[in-house]
Amino acid sequence: MLEVGGGRHELDRSRSGVGPAGLTKRAEAGVNLARVSVSPASSRLERITTRRRNPKWKNVPLRIEMAECINCDTCLRHCPPQFGAIFNHGIDVIILPELCSGCNKCLDPCPVDCIYPDPDWSASPEDWWQEPLGPDDRYEGAAVRD
């Protein structure tokens, strides 16, 4: 039974007065109830496959200013594997905002302070998505062990 995220809320609302008739009206109005019941990207694998950030995360994602980054890879080692958001991508070091919780654990280790909050973040470019679950995804094995 799906009862995560919006699905559970639908059940609660049905108990608190909206009722089956309300759900029927929504269905008649063209609302996709199956879509409402989809889990909100709560695991790393879900975030990768759906390319969605967890909507429950309150902190904004971070970004690396590539013009300032010295490619030392220190931040990669400090990103918790359950997030696993930082990758080498060609000559760049990148943070996929969809995978970044904004936990800030990568901030202090950066020797040149070139990691910044990115409140106006946009979707990762298509070619960045070849890194998560790819052959150089250092977080995947660690995440499996958790």
Residue 48 or 79: which CB sits closer to ligand SF4? 79
For residue 33, state whether it binds ligand SF4 (rule: CB under 6 A): no
**CA 75 – CA 93 distance, rounded (Å):** 9
Q: Which of residues 75-134 bind ligand SF4 (CB under 6 A)?
A: 75, 78-79, 83, 85-86, 93, 95, 100-106, 109-112, 114-115
How many residues touch ligand SF4 under the rule CB under 6 A: the total is 29
Q: Which of residues 36-75 bind ligand SF4 (CB under 6 A)?
A: 62, 64, 69-75
Q: Is 87 exposed, middle or buried (0-12, 13-18, 19+ CB in 10 A)?
A: buried
Contact present, 41 and 47 (Cβ < 8 Å): yes
**CA 52 – CA 40 distance, rounded (Å):** 8
Tokens at 135, concatenated: 């052959």
Q: Residues in the site for ligand SF4, rule: CB under 6 A?
A: 62, 64, 69-75, 78-79, 83, 85-86, 93, 95, 100-106, 109-112, 114-115
